[in-house]
Structure 1
Amino acid sequence: MTDIVIVGAGMAGLICAQQLTQAGYSVLVVEKSRGLGGRLATRRLYGTWADHGACYLKPQGELFGNLVQLLCDRQILEVWKNPHQPDSAPRYIAPQGMNAIAKFLSAGLQIQLNQRVTAIHPTPENSWCLTLESNAQFTAKALILAIPAPQALTLLAPLGEAILGREFIDNLSSVEFHPSISAIAGYPATSQPLPDWTDRKFTDHPVLGWIGLDSSKRPHPQQPVFVLQSSAKFAQQHLETPDLEPVAKDILQQAARSLALPWLETPDWMQVHRWRYAFPSSPWTNPVLSASSTIPLVCCGDWCGGYLAEDAMISGLAASEEINHSLRQLPVPNMNVLKLFSE
């Protein structure tokens, strides 16, 4: 038995876990993937690494700005300079990869990776029991699902309205996502002259959504590396395609034509990733979504109140407040992320 289990080790889950751990609760974070971060995703490959999820942070509010400044002070983030817009609002990147943010946020937490939750049910002792793919089980006095709403719905729907409440299930069901396909491509160091831009965004393009020169984020890059993100419409068309390599080649071909860079079609190497839940198209309107169950249960994530990493952080903080209110109401760090990492 632990006080709180959090499913999902992205920004929302890690921030929430830090708040509740600092308050004095026993907290276990369970993550189905091999690594931390969710969409703060970095893939290591061919002697380098590339961000194929969230590619930069652009803080808007003071709270997230404080976290970004802290990460800059710890030399985890730095400004990604845009030569064409030197006076624009700064964008922040992680030279060691965006998942370095998640690694920093995970310090001191109890986390189990490669653990997929397959079932959730209440116990006679008024707690939640989580069953894993390995048939292991955990019990907790409170549960937080910091995962995309459709994944949360798959786990929670079997509990039914009698336990969770009809309004909660309807609200969870209303959240929808756009998919995306990310292609990572590396090129010879002797390629044609590189463009003078760091990234380009495409509006209303049938295939392309964004392209970034990912290697421009890295210290002493050995070769040019680009990350390309598809449009939502194109990703939807190929969401169930078993072999994504031809799909990625199509993305590169479209970029080569649109940007007049024909050599983009012929990379040294290429990898592709499918994001089924990339961007909330119909997010929940509030920072958290709470069930009406007698045992505390809260959902949070970037789909609560927005779609950015900043929204995920705010949602994680709000979820910690909600759960704390439902349990022992211990003193928490007053939604001040700087206090979490002051030592």
Structure 2
Amino acid sequence: MKAESDKGFHLAVIGAGIAGLACAHEVQAAGGRVTVFEKSRGTGGRLATRYRGALRFDHGAQYVTARSPGFRQLVDRATCAGAAAVWSPQGLPVLEDWHVGCPGMSQLVQPLADHLQVHLQTAVAQLEPAGTQWRLLDAEGGALGCFDQVVAAIPAPQARAVLQPHSPLFDAAADSMLSPCMTALVAFDETIREGQDVICDREAAVPWAARNSSKPQRPTGPDCWVLQAAAEWSQSFLEATPEKRAEALLEQWQWQLGGTLPEPCHLESHSWLYARVETPLSAPFLLDTDKGLSACGDWCLGARAEAAWDSGRQLGHMLAAFA
């Protein structure tokens, strides 16, 4: 579908994670009109931080690395703006810089989100043809506007559900395998594991535990930890209540530590159903040029924030030709 709007090319991007924002940024920089729809309360996707009063937990991606010049430039921009810093955890040798957003992980993508029109808490449920354009609909069937092209920058199963009814090309999204990750957010009134900010054991049921309060620009006070479970463990708790998941995760971690932990002053869980890319698509994006539909995300290239950015950036560069 080609743009035939009297106001110029207008792109809709579903998802305000780093892939969606990178794509939108490229197209808008080329002169195109872009509207981003995000079902959550904020931008960043899994670059996420949960605030609970004086407590803070980076409950999604724990840090990012920057290996390509383009992504390093983005991280440097955020750092110069005071929105990112290097995290150097105690007790763990780090071979490359670990960058975190400040005061929360989503600040890392702020340079991409600046000047974009983003509609938060707006979930796109389906598309329908509208002449040479696409009409976006919410779960109640309410119209969200008409657009010349649509990008689904969301996990592969969700992108396939929205786009495949209109183009069989997006059956390919099923080739990307993703696994869940159950995460516990726990705080203690006393400091535990002094001098050891990250506890990493790739073979354990809880392979990652990090002292969130050790990161730059995080509040002092209660000792805040983020625990992330392995895929198999997470799968077995998909049907459990959030309370049960949190309790089980903390119990499992305590068992791995081989000792007794103090009673937490805060404990909750979060479920990431499509957290880890096990098998990427091995293509930077999916694009049906004739239909004006496309998809991008970390599931295209690999399980890193930089891969998600690169997927969105490459697709945005391609779509900029329509602007």
- Structure 1 residue 192: deviation in Å? 5.2
Structure 1 residue runs of 5 or longer lacking an equivalent are 329-343
Moved more, 294-303 or 228-237: 294-303
Change (3 A) 1:202 1:37: same
- Structure 1 residue 74: deviation in Å? 1.4
- Counterpart CA distance in 1 for 2:11 and 2:94 is 45
Partners of 1:7 and 1:31 within 8 A in 2: yes
- 1:240 to 2:239 alignment: yes
Identity of aligned residues (%): 30
Task: State the AA in 2 paired with 1:249.
Answer: E
Partners of 2:242 and 2:268 within 8 A in 1: no
1:269 aligns to what? 266
Task: Compute the TM-score of the two structures, normalised by the length of structure 2.
Answer: 0.91
Q: Which of residues 302, 305, 314 in structure 2 aligns to 1:309?
A: 305
Task: State the AA in 1 paired with 2:225.
Answer: F
Partners of 1:212 and 1:226 within 8 A in 2: yes
Task: Compute the TM-score of the two structures, normalised by the length of structure 1.
Answer: 0.86
Change (3 A) 1:136 1:170: closer
- Counterpart CA distance in 2 for 1:87 and 1:49 is 23
- Counterpart CA distance in 2 for 1:181 and 1:219 is 23
Which residues in structure 2 correspond to 1:1-343 (within 5 Å)?
Answer: 3-85=10-92, 88-124=95-131, 126-134=132-140, 135-159=142-166, 164-165=167-168, 168-188=169-189, 191=190, 193-205=192-204, 207-217=205-215, 218-241=217-240, 243-263=241-261, 266-291=263-288, 294-325=290-321, 327-328=322-323
Structure 2 residue runs of 5 or longer lacking an equivalent are none
Partners of 2:92 and 2:196 within 8 A in 1: no
Change (3 A) 1:3 1:58: same
Moved more, 138-147 or 41-50: 41-50
- Counterpart CA distance in 1 for 2:299 and 2:261 is 37
- Counterpart CA distance in 1 for 2:135 and 2:81 is 38
Partners of 1:187 and 1:224 within 8 A in 2: yes
Number of aligned positions between the proteins:
314
- Structure 1 residue 114: deviation in Å? 1.0
SS at match of 2:29: helix
- Counterpart CA distance in 2 for 1:150 and 1:83 is 38
Change (3 A) 1:288 1:193: closer
Change (3 A) 1:232 1:71: same
- Counterpart CA distance in 2 for 1:99 and 1:324 is 25
